[in-house]
C-alpha cells in the first residue's frame, strides 16, 4: 500500500460531522425541553408551596389568634377596672377554663403598682396535675421585671410573642408566651401598669407540621424571630440551632441570607442546600401571622424534578441510542462506499506494480461505479499504451529519437510497421583502419575510443531523424525516410554525412591528444527502394531495411577513403544543384554489371552551407620515392609476403605505386614502409587499387586510395605535403 497521509477515515468524518451536528441538535432540543419542563415544574411547585404555606399559616394563626385574644381581653379589662391581687385569681381561672388551648395565664404588675408595699404582683394560674393551680410570681431570685415575657412588652409598649422556650417544670414541653402590656390612662398620660400573658404549649405545632408531607423527604419547619428552629423533623435542631448557626456550621452564606429574609417577615422562594442532607432543595417561606415566626417548606429538588429528570433520562437514552444507531448506519454506509474505493485503491497498487490486468468491481454507488469504470478503462489504456511503447522501444531500439517515438505513439498508423517497400536514403559509414589500429590497444581504450566516436555519431544521426538500423563495431547502417515519412530524406542524409565528417575532426583532436591515433571515416549515401519493416523473430524484432540497395550501399562504402562522402547516382540526382561535388569515381562493383559513377560530396550550398575542410589533395611527386612492401588483403585477411614497391607520388588521400607485381583493380592492399626501424610505430597504409597501368620495365603503376593511414605515415605525408 502507498503511505497514506494521517487523517480521518470517511466513516469517522461522517460520524464527526453528521453525528456531531445531530448530537448538537439533540442536546439543544433536549436542554431546551429540560429547562422548560424544569421551569414549569418549579413554577407549579412554587404555587403549590405558596398555597400549602398559606394553609398551614392560617391554621397556626387561627390558634394563635385565639390565644392572643385572652391576654388582650385581660389587658383591656385591667385598663378599665383595677382589681385587687385577690380579684385577679378568678379572672385567670375563668379565662383558663374557657380557653383550653392556654396552659397558663399571668397578670404581672409593675413594682408597687397595686400597693406601695407590694413590689411583685403577678398572680399566675396554670394547668397543674390536679387542675388549675396558682402561683404568685416575683421573688428576689425570680425577678420577672427583667424577663423577656415582661420586659419586652414593657420596654416596647407592644404585645408580643416570646421566643419559644422549654417549660420550667420538666423542660420537655416547648412553650411560648403572648404578652400584652396594659396601662393606666389618665387623660393624655399613659403609664405602664403591667403585662398580661398567656402561655401555650407548642406541641400541637410540631404535630401539625410533622403531618405536612412534601414529596418523599420534603418537610415544613418554623423558625422564631431569632431564626431558631421552633419545629423541624430533626429534633436536635429544635431550639438549639438557628438558620444562622447552620449557615455558619455548613459554611453556606445562602442560608443566612434566606434566614434574614425570613425573620424580617418576607415571603420568598429560594434554592438552598438542605440543612441536613445538603441536597439541592427549594425553600418556600412566609411569615406566620403576627407571631414574628416564619414557616418554611423544603422541596427536595431531586424528588421535585424526579419526573422531569426521569423523562429527561429516557429522552437522553433514546437520543443516545438514536445517535449510536445513526453512527452504526453511517459506518455501514461509509464502508459500503469505501469498500469499492479500497478495492480500487488495492487495484491501483497493482497497477503501480505493473499489473494492468487488475479490475475494480463496478459496483456500489453510481459515482463509485463510474470511478471504477474509469479506472478499468485507464488500466486497459495503460496496457495498450505500454504494449505500444514496448513494441516501439523494442523495434526501434535506442536509435530513434524520443521525438520519433512520441510521434509514433501518437499517430494512429505509426505502428503499421509491417514490411513495406519505400524509397529511402541509406547511409553507411565505417572507420578506416579501425581494426588495425585497435588490435594493439587495451580493450578499455578500445571501448573508450569507440564510445566517444559512436556517441557523437549517433547524436548527429538522431538530430537528422535517422533510424539507426545497425551498429557493428565501428560501422553504422542508418536510413532516412522511415518509419515516418520524410520528403527530403536524401538531403537529410547528405547533410548528416557532412556533419559526421566534420565531427570527426573534433574526435581526432581529442584522440590524438590522448595518443589514440588518427582515424578517418568513409561514408556512403544511397537512395533507392528498399523493404523496410520489422525484421527478426518474435523474441527480437528490429525495424530495419533490406534489399539490394542496402548491399549496394555497402559496396559503395568500400570505395570511400578516409574523410570522404560518396553518394550514388540516384542520390546525386535528387540533390543536383544543392551539393558541391568533388571528384567523380567510376567504379566496378561486385554483382553490378555496369560501372557505376560515384560522386564525392564536398559540401552543401545555400541555404545549408555545410562544407568539408578543403584538403590539399594535389599529388606530390617524390624525387626520392619511398620504399614500401605491399601485402594483399583478401577477405580482410592480410596474406602473402611483402612485395617491394615504390611510392612515387602521394597526397593525403592517395598515392601512386610502382611495383613489379600484378595488382588487380579494386584490390585491397596493406602498404608498409620498408625502412621500418621502430616496429611499434609502423608506417602502414591500407589502400584500394583504383587504376592500374603498365609502365616500361615490366612494371605496373597503380593509383591507390588510402582507406587507412597509420599515424606515423600520416606524419610523413603531412611533412611531404608541407615541404612541396
Partner 1 sequence: MTARRILQRCFSSKVLQCARGGVRVVNIAQIVQKSAYMLVARRSSGILKPEDLDGKKIGLWGGEFRLLPEAFFHTHNISPRIIPQGTTVNLFLRSGVDAASAMWYNEYHQLINAGLDQSELTTFLLSDYGMRFPEDGIYCLEKTCLDAPSLCGDFAAASVAGWEYCFSHPDESLDIVMKYVHAAKTATNRVHQKWMLERMKDIIRFEGSPALGALSVNSYMEVASELKKGGYIEAVPSYHEFRFEPHGVARP
- The residues of the shown chain that bind partner 1, judged by CB under 8 A, are 145-148, 151-152, 154-156, 160, 162-163, 165-166, 171, 225-228, 236, 239-245, 248-249, 256, 259-260, 263
DSSP string computed for 543-593: EEEESHHHHHHHHHHHT--TTEEEE-HHHHHHHTTTEEEEEEEEE--TT-S
CB of 183 or CB of 244, closer to partner 1: 244
Place of cell 589514440: 516
Record the cell numbers describing residue 473, joined without a space: 563495431
**C-alpha–C-alpha distance, residues 311 and 3, integer Å:** 50
**C-alpha–C-alpha distance, residues 541 and 384, integer Å:** 19
CB of 174 or CB of 626, closer to partner 1: 174
Cβ 164 to partner 1 shortest distance, Å = 10
Q: How far is CA 620 from CA 79, 271, 714, 717, in A?
A: 179, 133, 14, 10
Cβ 282 to partner 1 shortest distance, Å = 21
CB of 42 or CB of 202, closer to partner 1: 202
Record the cell numbers describing residue 119, joined without a space: 413590689
Cβ 112 to partner 1 shortest distance, Å = 16
Cβ 314 to partner 1 shortest distance, Å = 44
Whether residue 722 is preceded by a cis peptide bond, meaning omega within 30 degrees of 0, is no
Record the cell numbers describing residue 25, joined without a space: 441538535
Cβ 149 to partner 1 shortest distance, Å = 10
CB of 165 or CB of 293, closer to partner 1: 165
Alpha-helix residue ranges (DSSP H) falling in 397-488: 402-410, 434-439, 443-463
Cβ 292 to partner 1 shortest distance, Å = 9
CB of 226 or CB of 570, closer to partner 1: 226
The helix (run of H) or strand (run of E) holding residue 629 is strand 620-634
Q: Strand pairing partners for 176?
A: 200
- Select from 398, 568, 559, 553 the least CA-distant residue to 466: 398
CB of 57 or CB of 224, closer to partner 1: 224
CB of 150 or CB of 552, closer to partner 1: 150
CB of 249 or CB of 321, closer to partner 1: 249
Cβ 232 to partner 1 shortest distance, Å = 13
CB of 212 or CB of 239, closer to partner 1: 239
CB of 164 or CB of 483, closer to partner 1: 164
Cβ 244 to partner 1 shortest distance, Å = 5
**C-alpha–C-alpha distance, residues 724 and 716, integer Å:** 13
Distance between terminal CA atoms of the chain? 79
Q: How far is CA 314 from CA 215, 318, 445, 585, in A?
A: 22, 6, 93, 113
Q: How far is CA 167 from CA 93, 104, 203, 717, in A?
A: 20, 11, 12, 158
CB-count exposure of residue 24 (10 Å: 0-12, 13-18, 19+):
exposed
**C-alpha–C-alpha distance, residues 204 and 218, integer Å:** 20
CB of 255 or CB of 521, closer to partner 1: 255
Q: Helix, strand or coil for residue 529?
A: strand
**C-alpha–C-alpha distance, residues 347 and 334, integer Å:** 19
CB of 258 or CB of 486, closer to partner 1: 258
Cβ 272 to partner 1 shortest distance, Å = 16
CB of 253 or CB of 310, closer to partner 1: 253
| CA torsion angle 482 484 489 495 (round to 10) | -100
CB of 223 or CB of 467, closer to partner 1: 223
Cβ 113 to partner 1 shortest distance, Å = 17
Record the cell numbers describing residue 271, joined without a space: 434554592
Cβ 247 to partner 1 shortest distance, Å = 9
**C-alpha–C-alpha distance, residues 449 and 319, integer Å:** 85
Cβ 52 to partner 1 shortest distance, Å = 24
**C-alpha–C-alpha distance, residues 206 and 204, integer Å:** 5
**C-alpha–C-alpha distance, residues 218 and 52, integer Å:** 13
Cβ 79 to partner 1 shortest distance, Å = 21
Q: Strand pairing partners for 647?
A: 626, 657
Q: How far is CA 428 from CA 213, 455, 550, 553, 586, in A?
A: 123, 16, 9, 7, 19
CB of 242 or CB of 526, closer to partner 1: 242
Cβ 31 to partner 1 shortest distance, Å = 38
Cβ 72 to partner 1 shortest distance, Å = 18
Is 693:717 a contact under the CB 8 Å cutoff? no
CB of 151 or CB of 184, closer to partner 1: 151
- Find how far residue 683's CA is from the centre of its chain: 76
Phi, psi dihedrals of residue 235, rounded to the nearest 5°: -60, -30
Q: Helix, strand or coil for residue 301?
A: helix
CB of 174 or CB of 193, closer to partner 1: 174
Q: How far is CA 714 from CA 636, 642, 651, 688, in A?
A: 22, 21, 10, 17
Q: Helix, strand or coil for residue 20?
A: helix
Q: How far is CA 477 from CA 10, 19, 72, 401, in A?
A: 61, 74, 146, 16
Cβ 140 to partner 1 shortest distance, Å = 11
Cβ 153 to partner 1 shortest distance, Å = 9
Amino acid at each position: 500500500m502507498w503511505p497514506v497521509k494521517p487523517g480521518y477515515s470517511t466513516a469517522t468524518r461522517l460520524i464527526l460531522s453528521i453525528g456531531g451536528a445531530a448530537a448538537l441538535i439533540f442536546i439543544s432540543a433536549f436542554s431546551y425541553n429540560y429547562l422548560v419542563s424544569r421551569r414549569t415544574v418549579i413554577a407549579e411547585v412554587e404555587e403549590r408551596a405558596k398555597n400549602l404555606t398559606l394553609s398551614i399559616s392560617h391554621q397556626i394563626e387561627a390558634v394563635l389568634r385565639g390565644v392572643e385574644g385572652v391576654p388582650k381581653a385581660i389587658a383591656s379589662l385591667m385598663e378599665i377596672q383595677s382589681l385587687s391581687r385577690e380579684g385577679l385569681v378568678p379572672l385567670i381561672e375563668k379565662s383558663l377554663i374557657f380557653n383550653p388551648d392556654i396552659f397558663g395565664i399571668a397578670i404581672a404588675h409593675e413594682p408597687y403598682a397595686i400597693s406601695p408595699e407590694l413590689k411583685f404582683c403577678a398572680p399566675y394560674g396554670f394547668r397543674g396535675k390536679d387542675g388549675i393551680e396558682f402561683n404568685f410570681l416575683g421573688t428576689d431570685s425570680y425577678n420577672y421585671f427583667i424577663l423577656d415575657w415582661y420586659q419586652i412588652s414593657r420596654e416596647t409598649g407592644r404585645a408580643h410573642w416570646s421566643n419559644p422556650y422549654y417549660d420550667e417544670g420538666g423542660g420537655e414541653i416547648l412553650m411560648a408566651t403572648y404578652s400584652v402590656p396594659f396601662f393606666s390612662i389618665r387623660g393624655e398620660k399613659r403609664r405602664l401598669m403591667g403585662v398580661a400573658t398567656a402561655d401555650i404549649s407548642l406541641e400541637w405545632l410540631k404535630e401539625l407540621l410533622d403531618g405536612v408531607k412534601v414529596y418523599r423527604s420534603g418537610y415544613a419547619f418554623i423558625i422564631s424571630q431569632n431564626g431558631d428552629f421552633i419545629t423541624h423533623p430533626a429534633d436536635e435542631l429544635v431550639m438549639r440551632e438557628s438558620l444562622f448557626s447552620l449557615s455558619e456550621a455548613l459554611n453556606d452564606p445562602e442560608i443566612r441570607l434566606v434566614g434574614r429574609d425570613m425573620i424580617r417577615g418576607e415571603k420568598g422562594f429560594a434554592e438552598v442546600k438542605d440543612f441536613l442532607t445538603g441536597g439541592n432543595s427549594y425553600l418556600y417561606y412566609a411569615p406566620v401571622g403576627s407571631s414574628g415566626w416564619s414557616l418554611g417548606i423544603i422541596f427536595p429538588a431531586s424528588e421535585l424534578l424526579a419526573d422531569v429528570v426521569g423523562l429527561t433520562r429516557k429522552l437522553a437514552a433514546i437520543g443516545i441510542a438514536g445517535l449510536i444507531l445513526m453512527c452504526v448506519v453511517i459506518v455501514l454506509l461509509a464502508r459500503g462506499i469505501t469498500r469499492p474505493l479500497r478495492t480500487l485503491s488495492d487495484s491501483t497498487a497493482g497497477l503501480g506494480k505493473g499489473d494492468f490486468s487488475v479490475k475494480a468491481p463496478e459496483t456500489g454507488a453510481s459515482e463509485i461505479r463510474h470511478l471504477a469504470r474509469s479506472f478499468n478503462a485507464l488500466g486497459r489504456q495503460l496496457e495498450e499504451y505500454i504494449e505500444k511503447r514496448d513494441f516501439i522501444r523494442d523495434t526501434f531500439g535506442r536509435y530513434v529519437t524520443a521525438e520519433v517515438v512520441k510521434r509514433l505513439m501518437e499517430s494512429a498508423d505509426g505502428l503499421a510497421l509491417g514490411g513495406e517497400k519505400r524509397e529511402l536514403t541509406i547511409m553507411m559509414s565505417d572507420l578506416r583502419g579501425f581494426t588495425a589500429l585497435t588490435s594493439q590497444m587495451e580493450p578499455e581504450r578500445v571501448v573508450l575510443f569507440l564510445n566517444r566516436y559512436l556517441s557523437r555519431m549517433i547524436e548527429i544521426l538522431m538530430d537528422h531523424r535517422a533510424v539507426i538500423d545497425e551498429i557493428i563495431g565501428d560501422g553504422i547502417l542508418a536510413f532516412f525516410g522511415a518509419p515516418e515519412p520524410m520528403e527530403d530524406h536524401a538531403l537529410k542524409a547528405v547533410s548528416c554525412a557532412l556533419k559526421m565528417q566534420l565531427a570527426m575532426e573534433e574526435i581526432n583532436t581529442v584522440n590524438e591528444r590522448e595518443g589514440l591515433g588518427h582515424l578517418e571515416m568513409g561514408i556512403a549515401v544511397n537512395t533507392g527502394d528498399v523493404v523496410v519493416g520489422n525484421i527478426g523473430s518474435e523474441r527480437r524484432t528490429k525495424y530495419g531495411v533490406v534489399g539490394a540497395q542496402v548491399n549496394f550501399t555497402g559496396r559503395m562504402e568500400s570505395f570511400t577513403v578516409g574523410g570522404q562522402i560518396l553518394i550514388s547516382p540516384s542520390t546525386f540526382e535528387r540533390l543536383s544543384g544543392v551539393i558541391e561535388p568533388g571528384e567523380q569515381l567510376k567504379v566496378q562493383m561486385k554483382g553490378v554489371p555496369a560501372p557505376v559513377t560515384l560522386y564525392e560530396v564536398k559540401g552543401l550550398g545555400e541555404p545549408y552551407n555545410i562544407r568539408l575542410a578543403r584538403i590539399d589533395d594535389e599529388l606530390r611527386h617524390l624525387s626520392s620515392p619511398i620504399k614500401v612492401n605491399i601485402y594483399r588483403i583478401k577477405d580482410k585477411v592480410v596474406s602473402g609476403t611483402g612485395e617491394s614497391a615504390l611510392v612515387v607520388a602521394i597526397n593525403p588521400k592517395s598515392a601512386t605505386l610502382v611495383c613489379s607485381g600484378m595488382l588487380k583493380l579494386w584490390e585491397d592492399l596493406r602498404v608498409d614502409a620498408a625502412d621500418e626501424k621502430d616496429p611499434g610505430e609502423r608506417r602502414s597504409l591500407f589502400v584500394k587499387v583504383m587504376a592500374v597501368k603498365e609502365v616500361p620495365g615490366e612494371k605496373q603503376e597503380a593509383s591507390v586510395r588510402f582507406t587507412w593511414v597509420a599515424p606515423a605515415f600520416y606524419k610523413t605525408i603531412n611533412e611531404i605535403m608541407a615541404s612541396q
